[in-house]
Structure 1
Amino acid sequence: MSMKIAAESFRVPLLEVVVREYDEERDKAAVEELETRCEVGQQGKLSLLTDLMGDPICRIRNFPLHVMLVAVYREETELVGVIRGSIKTVTSGKEASNGVPVYEKLAYILGLRVSPTHRRLGIATKLVQHLEEWCNQNGADYSYMATDTTNEASIKLFTKKCNYLKFRTPTLLVHPVHAHYKPLSSGTTVVRVSPQLTESIYRQVFTNSEFFPKDIDQILCNKLNLGTFMAMPKLSLPKWDPMSGTLPSSFAILSVWNTKEVFKLQVKGVSRLTCACFAGSRVLDNLMPWLNIPSIPNFFRPFGVYLLFGLFMEGKGASRLMKSLCAFVHNMARDDDGCGAVVAEVGQRDPVRKAVPHWRKFSWAEDLWYVKKLAPAKREEDGGCGPSDWIKSQSCSSVIFVDPRDF
């Protein structure tokens, strides 16, 4: 972190609250306890999973610039709120006159929690304001946050009190990991792609997309990245020279991020009958795997997920290649104990959306992204889009690159 934020005291009804940076030695246990009392999602909703955080700062540790703030009161004897933030440089979906992608310095806000006994006292608003101040001090042009359509409290806080605007609505696609393996399409081959070649490919195909991170090389070399894989027709393999820099005429590519090392998820509040039905599907699938029964994992205990990112396809039969690639990753997850689902988040107009297998019941049609401008719009001579800013301008791409570190 390049800068410290000064602790500030302010008054809310009956409380004196201090917002300061997280201190692992004295705050870790209290933050973990707060997380368990602030469950994410709704009881009984299979499409909303409950976040079971481990290390409080693990979700932002992979960003070079990050911070976690806590709200405490009673002379710092009780921790009543927490918020996390990170800053990265990403593409805005626009192309400058010289052909170079337009980058923006973007802050991501996540993990806002306030103790259930201390809500409606202005603590959440103050946490957001303090985090925005830190983002401003560190040069962020914009900040954004993501939530789902059912989180009315979060939407109201960010839109009514903090002046955020609805920006993008990507789709979250979830596919359970079955007890049986998925067959790959005949005539298709899957190859592993090195991080160096992946970086070159991604910088080429995602040049005009939105939210593509400038430090993609750091993501691809991260220990949580399980690798990048490309599917292509078997006849193309002998003809394709990866060292040439030329892509195959038909291919699909994606990378896999292991969220199991960061957090676990769990479904709560469902009926015993539903639990029994899910268990029955797994028993049948184990006893008769040749039937390919679409069994449902045990979502009622903590489980991890594989996140697909960098999804791109091109050429004849590309949709079939992408489906084979997703089946390949499903089989990877099948061999990983405790991995319950494969997840992908893509733009609503992204062509890969229709090619990624998913279960509608477990997926979100709209994952709401809200954004706020923290700095004046850049001038065209400074590499910006002219008088209009990113929020008001229309993207020239249907592709949203989802950074796995945000998930």
Structure 2
Amino acid sequence: MVAEYGEARDIIGVIRGCIKHVTTGHSHHVLKLAYILGLRVSTNHRRLGVGMKLVKHLEEWCKQKGADYAYIATDCANQPCINLFTQKFSYTKFRSPTVLVQPVHAHYKPIGSGIAIVRIPPHVTAKVYRHLFANAEFFPTDIDAILSNKLNLGTFMAVPKKLLPKWNPETGILPQSFAILSVWNTKEVFKLQVKGVSKLTYACCMGSRLLDSWLPWLRLPSFPDVFSQFGVYFLYGLSMRGTNGSRLMKSLCTFVHNMAKDDVGCGAVVAEVSQQDPVRVAIPHWKRLSWNEDLWCIKKLADLQEGECERSEMSDWIKSPPSSAGIFVDPRDI
């Protein structure tokens, strides 16, 4: 939706929204969820109620489409956005996942010995994800559409090489020890750019990159060229099992880093997971580029009809504790 002004109908504001069916983390319960994103108002028309009108109209559209809940995701430091949704529209602070960022270096990173990386077909991945994330929150029922999207670069599983002779990926049966993730190419949708840094910071960053390019065997943790436009690879569907799960996940993330290194214009590999998810500690990242708390706020839109058997489950979702199975972050929402 857009906000227009004057006879010339100049666009002064915009907001986007989508609706999908997702799990709530409670006994495979599925509901209709609206995601609100991309609220922007031109600088000259702020503090005039434009943002509020856009949100109000989009919420009405979501209700007409039958959405049970609506949610937004924002940086925990974005206080104006938080105040708008929590104070003006009664959204509740709901979940605070962690965003982990790994810059792409100029050298390849070594994958752990004794580990095999296997590409999993989309139809098998869908079956595996429905099993792994059955009790997670925000898992979309149209996972097949995500996996078949042209922005999806594939799903990969890391397993000990000694298990390969006894395991067939096509069966969908999981090995005793594994790590799995999918890769989403966001640089085909949007690009980022860092501006306003000092000359000294710029020189240090570019110098480290140059040195890493000249002497890749040193494996220096160089900084990518984020001062020009760059894109990122987003990791989703991250899960691990078994005694070697953490090591396998680290190797899998290394594999994706090397993929990104070969893709010109990809500056970082990013993942978002719940703070309680064990996979969090296994994902390589730079603390200075990551942030511990993204903020998801949620609001109930629909009132259930009296007598519906699922009334208590839906009413309790906002107040419920985080699912032990974690959060599934839909890459389409990034």
How far does residue 77 in structure 1 lie from its aligned partner after superposition?
A: 2.8
**Aligned pair partner of 2:58 in 131, 142, 157:** 131
- Contact kept in structure 2, 1:378 and 1:385, CA below 8 Å: no
Aligned partners of 1:174 and 1:213: how far apart in 2? 24
Aligned partners of 1:241 and 1:379: how far apart in 2? 49
Distance 1:129-1:381 versus aligned 2 partners, 3 A rule: closer
Percent identity, aligned pairs only, is 64
Secondary structure in 1 matching 2:288: helix
How far does residue 397 in structure 1 lie from its aligned partner after superposition?
A: 2.2
Please tell me the residue identity of whatever aligns with 2:33.
L
Residue in 1 aligned with 2:205? 278
Residue in 1 aligned with 2:9? 77
Counterpart check, 1:106 vs 2:33 = yes
Superposed, which structure 2 residues align to 1:38-57 within 5 Å? none
Q: Which runs of 5+ in 2 are unaligned?
A: none
- Contact kept in structure 2, 1:94 and 1:395, CA below 8 Å: no
Distance 1:168-1:274 versus aligned 2 partners, 3 A rule: same
Aligned partners of 2:268 and 2:46: how far apart in 1? 33
- Contact kept in structure 1, 2:5 and 2:12, CA below 8 Å: yes
TM-score, structure 1 as length reference: 0.80
How far does residue 90 in structure 1 lie from its aligned partner after superposition?
A: 0.4
Aligned partners of 2:20 and 2:244: how far apart in 1? 35
How far does residue 78 in structure 1 lie from its aligned partner after superposition?
A: 1.6
Per-residue CA distance 1:310-353 (angstroms, 9 max, x = gap) = 00000011000000000000000000000000000000000100
Residue in 2 aligned with 1:94? 26
Superposed, which structure 2 residues align to 1:220-369 within 5 Å? 220-369=147-296
The CA RMSD over aligned residues, in Å, is: 1.4
Please tell me the residue identity of whatever aligns with 1:223.
K
Per-residue CA distance 1:153-212 (angstroms, 9 max, x = gap) = 111111111111100000000000000001000010000000010001000010000000
Per-residue CA distance 1:9-30 (angstroms, 9 max, x = gap) = xxxxxxxxxxxxxxxxxxxxxx
Aligned partners of 1:337 and 1:380: how far apart in 2? 57
Aligned partners of 1:381 and 1:164: how far apart in 2? 24
- Contact kept in structure 2, 1:148 and 1:368, CA below 8 Å: yes
Distance 1:386-1:212 versus aligned 2 partners, 3 A rule: closer
How far does residue 388 in structure 1 lie from its aligned partner after superposition?
A: 3.3
**Aligned pair partner of 1:202 in 113, 123, 129:** 129
How far does residue 380 in structure 1 lie from its aligned partner after superposition?
A: 8.3
Residue in 2 aligned with 1:118? 45
- Contact kept in structure 2, 1:377 and 1:389, CA below 8 Å: no
**Aligned pair partner of 1:217 in 144, 151, 155:** 144
Aligned partners of 1:283 and 1:128: how far apart in 2? 46
Aligned partners of 2:151 and 2:128: how far apart in 1? 20
Aligned partners of 1:270 and 1:380: how far apart in 2? 59
- Contact kept in structure 1, 2:183 and 2:235, CA below 8 Å: yes
How far does residue 266 in structure 1 lie from its aligned partner after superposition?
A: 1.0
How far does residue 244 in structure 1 lie from its aligned partner after superposition?
A: 3.5
TM-score, structure 2 as length reference: 0.97
Q: Which runs of 5+ in 1 are unaligned?
A: 1-68, 96-100
Aligned partners of 1:403 and 1:376: how far apart in 2? 26
- Contact kept in structure 1, 2:137 and 2:323, CA below 8 Å: no
